A and B are shown apart, each in its own frame.
Chain A
Amino acid sequence: MRPTLRSRFLIGCLVLGLAAALVPAADAQKRGGTLTIVRPTDPVSLDPNLETTAPGAWVYFNMLEGLLTLDEKMQVKPALATAYEVMSPTKVRFKLRPGVKFHDGTPFNAAAVKFTFDRALRGTPPARWASLAGSLDGAEVVDDLTVDVVTKEPYGPILRTLAMYCMGMVSPTAVQKMGSDFSRAPVGTGPFKFVEWKTNTHVIIERNPDYWGDKALVDRVVFKVVPEEGARMIALQTGDADMVLFPSPAQLPALRKDSKFTVHETTGIRVVFAGFHAGLPPLDDVRVRQALLHAVDRKAILDNIMEGSAGPALGVLAPGVFGFKDMQLDRLYPFDRAKAKALLTQAGWAPGPDGIMVKGGQRLSLSWLAARGRYPKDGEITEAIQAMFKDVGVEAKVQVLEWAAVFQQVRGNPLNHHMFTLGWVTSNADADYSLYALFHSKQVPPAGWNTSRYANARVDTLVEQARRSLNQTEREKLYGEVQDIVGKEMVWIPVYTTKEIIASRASVKGFHIHPVEYNLTLSKTWIDK
């Protein structure tokens, strides 16, 4: 099917920035002061071309803005673009916000958009975020304030891709003048501008008094590096820090009760799961996989291991992702050992002398690859599931390795393990990003991330169709169908959806935590001192 959306105006979908200015102040906001934030690591770089991980993104997200942005409700909102129009399946036209200037005084215009994309996509090597941007190919200048964003092929997720945290526009004059120094002192259009970066000590940004929208409330933000978790929490207690990113989970219950602190939390967009290699017997038998899902008490894991620091997994996607559909896992695969054993019996397995199931002289023994510490409690949940498997007569041999080593193996082909503990974040918040890379039969590593070797021709057709469509309603329906099919043939045990958690002193007001960890918006935050 071909999108027939030529020249269809979708401006209405985008609420103009005006609305934001009309919202009345909730309680008397105070201006000024310094917000001190502690976090575990220094940025790799402050240039999205070189850094797509959180330590850098937290900082540059406040200085560099993209054409679009995602609000806390995961809706696409205008940023430097005010409206868009789909011109053809591979071309979307954007109207740019007039009168915007970069921090160095350079006017923001269509040429700057083209420059930013050319620099990222045609540079050697290409930007780190190029891999996240699908078939984005670049931009063409139409006039000073109109730009066409072009993709190599019809690309449905284009809007959410452009709204990603790392798609910030950079000042062409600053890049040309500063060369490689730009990555340590970026120049954008955002509500904050760069002041200073002392490696492994702090990064300081300050309020941009000429910002086009609502100006920031605090004068300065200092991002300090405190690698030791205990020391970070002490800094919050002594008041050396106003806000802690990655607070210690063990201390959260105490902080929640203490009126001196606020714990900000929301459901994140990463799903942590125990994956099956569906191409490797005995897991090629769907009944065995279903039995294993029934064998796991997911609620017990959430209550006893995650202790409130994660939410239930509702499927292979997190709820904030466009295209998400609740897979009804509790209805499809309730925790039921009898059901699990019955399914295994149906598949021809019978209890052996040591209680482990056997079939044709083969024991039901699975080799399992896991890291410890890559995702919250990944090692612990792996061990818990291992024990639950044993209760239904399935043996799991877990091999715990350092993350870099696990990564190399799961990204390789062939994969010689039955199971793997992984987490998957839908970086652009569009189902395409996950359902295509994880479940399309052509996406087996090293091409993509179909580590499960899942293959279903109908799913292939649906995810391809959804990728090529620019009709978002249609796409949502297609993804719903994909999740219905995958749900029946499960190749994962989804364990939990991450929660984004930030702790601050109670004097920090107006801060809204975002489901996407990288989107740390500080312009509305103020300090009540």
Chain B
Amino acid sequence: MLTFIVRRLLLAVPVLLGVVFVVMLTVDLLPGDAVTLMLGEHATKDAVAKLRDHLGLDKPFLVRYLEYVGRVVRGDLGRSIQQNRPVAAELADAWPATLQLTVAALVLAAVAGIVAGVASAVWPNSLFDALARLGSLFGLSMPIFWTGLVLIVVFSLWLNWLPVGGAGSLTHLILPSVTLALPSVAMIARMTRAAVLEVLREDYVRTARAKGVAEFGVLARHALRNAFIPILTLLGLQSGQLMGGAVLTETVFAWPGLGRLMVKAIFARDYILLQGAVLVFALVFVVINLLVDLSYGLLDPRIGRQG
């Protein structure tokens, strides 16, 4: 088990190196330059040259890449080009908000999605099933920024129940987390429905029913536990999706998280800040994938033995 974890963590190193390489290369290939954008239309040639030199932007790409990696290894993420503030401090400011939002959305999505999915599977082709399937189609098709604005209009402008945006209290969290969760609820519900239906057709379920296990016990102990592996995989993938979706949700709801920080960094070509933010996202993704893989073993002992 321990060797498995260590091996997976070591494998994450080339992944992160690659991510940084691709991000740096993309920013490098983009037209536009951080310094001229920062100094604006009126910057003198001299001022631009001085600042470029100060920031080390004139060095060749590979040199900058190696220098950056070297600094990150020593725990230094550098300073934001625009704000001249440690990237670590910027990330530390924004990270909790994104974590709060994604965790809330993930919990909402998992609970609502699994409940709806199981119910649909238990009573297939019922009215509930039809509504749930229609609802998931809707949830999957609506873009986040649209659902977000509609929710704001209904719950803030018309009903005046919830704040328009910003962060602070729990009431601030409701609209953005619901908005962010909706597409995932739909996805998880559909997946759960399919997985549970499939398991319910298995021989061991028939056996369990035959030996007189109550229907709830069949569902909880036999069906759901086995259906959970694909659902868990999806949850892992969805948590990545949610972080991506957070970029939009954070913009609509003025949520002060990493997504907004990244968008700002992209427009300013602040590649140091951008790399830091992407690194955090990539790292979280790697860790979540690892956790999902580990939990397979807990759910299905056969997987653990093979690994």
Contacts and interface: CB of A to CB of B under 8 A. Distances in A.
Contact of B254 (A53, A132, A228): A228
Interface in A218-255: 224-228, 230-231, 234-235, 237-238, 240
Interface string B148-181: 1100110011001001111100000000000000
A81 B237 CA distance: 62
A276 B293 CA distance: 62
B50 A125 contact: yes
A198 B256 CA distance: 9
A131 B39 contact: yes
B157 A408 contact: no
| Residue with the highest number of chain B CB atoms closer than 10 Å, among A41, A45, A131, A230 | A131
Contacts of A224: 166, 254
Interface string B51-90: 1001000000000000000000000000000111100001
Nearest to B263: A227
B260 A200 contact: yes
B149 A199 contact: no
Contact of A131 (B43, B148, B252): B43
A447 B45 contact: yes
A131 B256 contact: no
Contacts of B264: 41-42
A50 B80 CA distance: 12
A235 B36 contact: no
Interface string A200-214: 111000000000000
A455 interface: no
Contact of A44 (B30, B82, B149, B269): B82
Contacts of B44: 131
Contacts of B19: none
A180 B80 CA distance: 13
Interface in B260-285: 260-261, 264, 267-269
A128 interface: yes
A279 B294 CA distance: 68
Contacts of B257: 200
A407 B32 contact: yes
Interface in B223-279: 251-254, 256-257, 260-261, 264, 267-269
B167 A404 contact: no
B152 A234 contact: yes
Given A131-B44, A225-B254, A227-B254, A238 B50 contact: no
A225 B94 CA distance: 14
Contacts, number: 132
Interface in A446-485: 446-447, 449
Nearest to B160: A238
Nearest to A446: B45
B38 interface: yes
B212 interface: no
A130 interface: yes
A234 B156 contact: yes
B47 A131 contact: yes
Interface residues of B, number: 50
B252 A231 contact: yes
A405 interface: yes
Nearest to A403: B32
* A126, A200, A433 interface centre (most CB from chain B within 10 Å): A200
A437 interface: yes
Name which of B44, B156, B254, B264 has the most chain A CB atoms within 10 A of its CB.
B254
Contact of A226 (B45, B84, B145, B164): B164
A228 B260 contact: no
Contact of B32 (A183, A201, A408, A437): A408
A404 B256 contact: no
B165 A235 contact: yes
B305 interface: no
Nearest to A130: B47
Contacts of B166: 201-202, 224, 226
Contacts of A449: 41-42
A57 B192 CA distance: 52
Most central of A128, A401, A402 by chain B CB within 10 Å: A128
Given A231-B252, A234-B164, A407-B36, A401 B31 contact: yes
14 contacts: A125-B54, A131-B43, A198-B256, A199-B94, A200-B94, A226-B166, A228-B253, A234-B156, A238-B156, A238-B160, A240-B164, A403-B32, A404-B267, A407-B32
Those 9 A-B pairs whose CB atoms lie nearest each other, nearest first: A404-B32, A200-B256, A405-B31, A201-B256, A226-B254, A125-B51, A131-B43, A125-B54, A235-B164
